Amino acid sequence: MAYLAKLGAQVDELIAAVSAASGQGDHDGVQISRDAVIRVLRQNTFPRTNQFEVEEYLDGFEERFSVAGRDGLATALGERRRALQAKSTRWTPEILQLLLELSDQPVKKSRLEDLELLRPCDQAPELTLRWDEIAEEDGWGADRALWKTINYAETSDDEEYGDAQSESSESDDTSLSSHDARHERSAQDLLLPDPDTAILEPVHQSQAWRYEETTKDPNGRPLKLSITEFQVLREALFMLQGLKNNLFNAQCEPAVKYQMSSTSWHTFSALLDSISESGYQIFTLRRFLATSGDTTPLQQVFRDSIRQRLLSFDRHVSTIQARFIDIKQDTPVSVIAVMEELKPAIKPMYALSRIVQKLTAEQYAYAFRYLELLFDAVCTAQLEGDDNVHRYLGDMFFQCFDLYLRPIRKWMAEGDLIPGDKSFFVSASAAEVPPNKIWERKYKLRRTKQGVLHAPNFLRPAVSRIFTTGKSIVVLKRLGKYQRRDNSWDVAEPPLTFAAVCPRGSELAPFSELFNNAFDIWMKSRHHTASATLQRILFDSCGLWTSLDALQHLHLMADGSCADAFTFPIFEYLDNLNPSWRDRFTLAEFAREAFGTRLDQTLVSAVVEIGSEPDDVAARQSVRIGLSKIKLRYRLSWPVQLVISGESLTAYDALFTLLLQVRRAVYALNRNRILNELSDVARTDEAPLYYTLRSRLLWFCTTFHTYLTSLVLAPSISAMQDDLRTADDVDAMIRAHGTFCKRLIEEACLGAKLEPIRECILDLFDLAVKLEDGRRGEAARLLASMNETSRLSLMSSPQRHDPLRQPRRGVYVSEAEQAEAEMTFIDAEDTELAVEQGDTYLDLLQSIGADFDRYLRFIIGGLKGVARASSGAAAGKWDMLAEMLETGMRDQRAG
């Protein structure tokens, strides 16, 4: 509130001063002005200049002068900075900031001798002589007669008239006087009559043919008016210059009533048609300039370029006219010779006229359309072998293209767009986007309704690199790593002129190829600097390698021991029907404890995507239901998210779920140790079949897990790291990481094409869980039977039963024994359910064996079929997996 009160008082004082100076006293207007000024000042987004930043820049300049060997400049700058400190004001930082903004390469262009011009002159200034001093000295300043009107007439009457007029002008009487009615002189009275009119007679005679009327022959046909070849030449040159003449009309069509003497009509008509055709091409250009066209800068530079070439052509025609006006010697007059002399200057006009005609014929031509037409015309002229037209149009193309380069240069150098420029192919979104979406959503490439890129067709191959360079500058600015005044950004760009792009000796090289090479060099001068800087910052400062390594450990389970430490507690809770397996805080704690030595624990979190209350029993019995809902999250910085997109994280989640399902099946099969088996269960008739199925399922799970880790993950990760190191820019890094994720999805059988095969693989994992559930159920049944037999034997014994004796509580040696006992009760429930369904343990094992064979054959056949129908690296990996499974199945049968 104190700030607003102070601001309001200052605004009132300002408005009062302005109102007093202008003489305005409107109270309502003053109040409106006051509110407007306060609103503008409150919303001011331009704070004071940072004086420390200005000092830092000046220190940098002083150091740079010394490094560049210009110690004199460094010393002079230091002395003046110290002298300025004694006279510093509150606006000194702003003044120094303005001088810094106005500076242009001071290290190269500053000269020590220029400082001498700032020193005050030691000599006393010369005295100046003024007219009022001269008048006062000579005394003629007080002489009023000096300013009287002087009449230069010959007679005394005129003198009297002048004196009377002077006296009347000095008189204070404002009434009408008698001399006002006299005749007043006009400009017509000052014209002197020319007594010799014969001088103009030859001029009238030379132009008389223009006003002659045509006569008719006895048959009524009009006769041609005979004119000389000199007159034809003069009229033709007038027409080429766009001037009015009698031989050609405004549309450069020849008049049919004239005929050159001593020339047949057909010959003369053919000559006029040839001249008319040339004149019409030039007339097309003049008409294009006369029409009010588009006022965009691109159109203006095109029109100005045409105007310059027409002016040059008119000067050339004027030099020819001068030869026939001021004739010093005998000069033959030949229209054909003059037109042949003008042919090199007129021929490029033909090509330029065709460009203008095409441009005007298109109803909604975009601003840079003429650049495409010029580019095509230059290529066509080169193919035709016309070096004159090729060079003429090439110079014009680069002259116009230089203006189109301005938004490109600004975008690639500063990451900024010119406001309101609709011709540039980059557009910015008006809505604010989060920092991690700047690269993807803030800027877009303009496209037409047909989806065509809104850029000249000869530039489209380079648009992506231009787009990437500008976005790199934007990200560097957002990171605070971009300094415009740094010498590393002041890259000397190679010239883009016709002489530089098409030097002598390159006439046989296609113009399009020469232009592409030159423009590629021009882009690399800016593209490489910005892209290399941003890549280095992403790797070194933003921790891209660290984030990728963390994702590989969390989602791809690169460290098996850490993965076991994370997954085993989850599987144990799942087997015990402990709901903590789906608690995100518990899962996050498991992940932090397991992967704490590999990554930053504070960035790890867990998510369980379960909409309703899950069925823990169903989740324990199938790898599909519960494990697919568990997700791990690693918090990435927003610069890293430019490379690792949300779509890529979805691929990481899919791989994490698949690896979790594989480990769940292996955990279920390995939990029952052979040495821990009860002797009664091990001696049952179903034991050989159980161990056979267990070994086959364990072989399949380990084979598939080996395929994922050795043939899919390890080579892909290595290739991705190499691609990131050799990437040219951030877009290439994004493509490399995106390709890596897509390759993982395809090779790991997670793509849509292999969905039936993936479902069959998950069925095999479920068979492993089902096998172990059946074994535990059978063990629980045998244990219950043994307990029942023991109970009946005790009841039939002669020992008396003491009703006061407390029943024995279970005493467990370890937590594992207690968990096994708890699982016995759970397995007993599963056994009762199996008994109710009428399935015996043998039936269960036989069903699992049949399903295993059927699923395995389907997987092998499906992988081979899809591999044959596909191409690429993924197809080869599928075929290798099929061979591994087929070989293992063959070995098992042989064994």
Q: How much is the pLDDT for 173?
A: 44
User: How confident is the model over 466-507, as pLDDT tens digits?
Assistant: 999 999 999 999 988 887 644 444 556 788 899 999 988 888
How far apart, in whole angstroms, are the C-alpha atoms of residue 602 and residue 604? 6
Residues near 709 by beta carbon (within 8 Å), at least 6 away in sequence? none
pLDDT at 119 over 90: no
- Of 16-25, 192-201, 391-400, minimum mean pLDDT range: 16-25
pLDDT at 169 over 70: no
Half-sphere exposure (Cβ direction) of 809: Cα atoms closer than 13 Å: 4
Instruction: Please state, as a whole number, how many other Cβ atoms lie within 10 Å of the Cβ of residue 35.
Output: 11
Q: How much is the pLDDT for 413?
A: 86
SS3 at position 799? coil
Q: How much is the pLDDT for 487?
A: 47
> Cα dihedral sign for 709, 714, 715, 719?
positive
Mean pLDDT of 509-520: 92
**Backbone φ, ψ for residue 296 (5° rounding):** -70, 155
Mean pLDDT of 145-172: 52
How far apart, in whole angstroms, are the C-alpha atoms of residue 690 and residue 772? 9
Pick the CATH number of 544-553+634-789+816-895 from 1.20.120, 1.10.30, 2.60.40, 3.40.190: 1.20.120
- Alpha-helix runs per DSSP H in 480-577: 498-501, 511-540, 544-554, 560-575
SS3 at position 316? helix
CA of residue 722 relative to chain centroid, distance: 26
For tokens 């490029």, name the residue. Answer: 348
Q: How much is the pLDDT for 189?
A: 67
SS3 at position 574? helix
Mean pLDDT of 598-603: 90
- Of 130-134, 288-292, 643-647, minimum mean pLDDT range: 130-134
Q: Are 595 and 566 in contact (CB under 8 A)?
A: yes
How far apart, in whole angstroms, are the C-alpha atoms of residue 168 and residue 160? 12
Mean pLDDT of 685-698: 87
Q: How much is the pLDDT for 164?
A: 44
pLDDT at 418 over 50: yes
Burial of residue 749 (number of CB atoms within 10 Å: 0-12, 13-18, 19+): buried
CA angle 837, 838, 844 (to 5 degrees): 95
For the chain, the 3-state helix, strand and coil shares in percent, each to the nearest 5, are 70, 5, 30
Distances in Å between the alpha carbon of 241 and those of 250, 278, 282, 314, 326? 12, 11, 8, 6, 19
Residues near 770 by beta carbon (within 8 Å), at least 6 away in sequence? 621, 844, 848
User: How confident is the model over 54-63, as pLDDT tens digits?
Assistant: 888 888 888 8
pLDDT band for position 572 (50/70/90)? very high
How far apart, in whole angstroms, are the C-alpha atoms of residue 749 and residue 658? 10
> Tokens at residue 583, please?
């608690």
pLDDT at 22 over 60: no
User: Could you state, in order of their start, the residue ranges of all structural domains in the chain?
Assistant: 2-42, 51-99, 224-365, 407-503+512-540, 544-553+634-789+816-895
How far apart, in whole angstroms, are the C-alpha atoms of residue 541 and residue 533? 11
> Tokens at residue 509, please?
């090289």
pLDDT at 631 over 60: yes
Q: Are 342 and 240 in contact (CB under 8 A)?
A: yes
How far apart, in whole angstroms, are the C-alpha atoms of residue 62 and residue 67? 9
How far apart, in whole angstroms, are the C-alpha atoms of residue 447 and residue 437? 21
pLDDT at 302 over 50: yes
Q: How much is the pLDDT for 163?
A: 45
- Better-scored residue on pLDDT, 758 or 776: 758
Instruction: Please state, as a whole number, how many other Cβ atoms lie within 10 Å of the Cβ of residue 569.
Output: 19
How far apart, in whole angstroms, are the C-alpha atoms of residue 160 and residue 162? 5
Question: Smallest Cα–Cα separation from 536: which of 465, 487, 488?
Answer: 488
Range 565-572 contact pairs with CB under 8 angstroms and sequence separation of 24 or more: 565/590, 565/593, 565/594, 566/590, 566/591, 566/593, 566/594, 566/595, 567/660, 567/663, 567/664, 567/667, 568/667, 570/630, 571/663, 571/664, 571/667, 571/668, 572/819
Question: Smallest Cα–Cα separation from 709: which of 856, 551, 556?
Answer: 556
pLDDT band for position 796 (50/70/90)? low
pLDDT at 123 over 90: no
pLDDT at 802 over 80: no
Q: How much is the pLDDT for 11?
A: 80
How far apart, in whole angstroms, are the C-alpha atoms of residue 713 and residue 725? 18
User: How confident is the model over 33-60, as pLDDT tens digits?
Assistant: 787 777 766 655 556 777 878 888 888 8
How far apart, in whole angstroms, are the C-alpha atoms of residue 261 and residue 232? 10
Residue percentage of the chain with pLDDT more than 70: 79
How far apart, in whole angstroms, are the C-alpha atoms of residue 511 and residue 500? 12
Q: How much is the pLDDT for 828?
A: 47
How far apart, in whole angstroms, are the C-alpha atoms of residue 527 and residue 673? 62
pLDDT at 806 over 80: no
Mean pLDDT of 717-729: 92
Residues near 389 by beta carbon (within 8 Å), at least 6 away in sequence? 347, 348, 351, 381
Distances in Å between the alpha carbon of 257 and those of 206, 336, 754? 18, 21, 87
CA of residue 490 relative to chain centroid, distance: 20
Mean pLDDT of the chain: 81
> Cα dihedral sign for 786, 792, 793, 799?
positive
How far apart, in whole angstroms, are the C-alpha atoms of residue 302 and residue 178? 66
Q: Which of 203-207, 289-293, 600-604 tops mean pLDDT?
A: 600-604
For tokens 């040696």, name the residue. Answer: 813
How far apart, in whole angstroms, are the C-alpha atoms of residue 713 and residue 672? 29
Q: Are strands 258-260 and 225-227 parallel, antiparallel or unpaired?
A: parallel
CA of residue 651 relative to chain centroid, distance: 27
pLDDT band for position 398 (50/70/90)? very high
Residues near 620 by beta carbon (within 8 Å), at least 6 away in sequence? 574, 575, 577, 626, 769
CA angle 526, 527, 528 (to 5 degrees): 95
- Of 281-290, 485-494, 504-513, minimum mean pLDDT range: 485-494
Q: What is the pTM of this model?
A: 0.67
Q: Are 711 and 698 in contact (CB under 8 A)?
A: no
Instruction: Please state, as a whole number, how many other Cβ atoms lie within 10 Å of the Cβ of residue 296.
Output: 16
Q: Are 691 and 771 in contact (CB under 8 A)?
A: no
Q: How much is the pLDDT for 331?
A: 76
User: How confident is the model over 636-664, as pLDDT tens digits?
Assistant: 999 999 999 989 999 999 999 999 999 99
Q: How much is the pLDDT for 674?
A: 52
Question: Smallest Cα–Cα separation from 343: which of 277, 395, 267?
Answer: 277
For tokens 């005007």, name the residue. Answer: 360
- Of 104-108, 111-115, 186-190, 732-736, minimum mean pLDDT range: 186-190
How far apart, in whole angstroms, are the C-alpha atoms of residue 531 and residue 412? 11
Question: Smallest Cα–Cα separation from 677: which of 527, 469, 820?
Answer: 820
Q: Are 397 and 499 in contact (CB under 8 A)?
A: no
pLDDT at 799 over 90: no
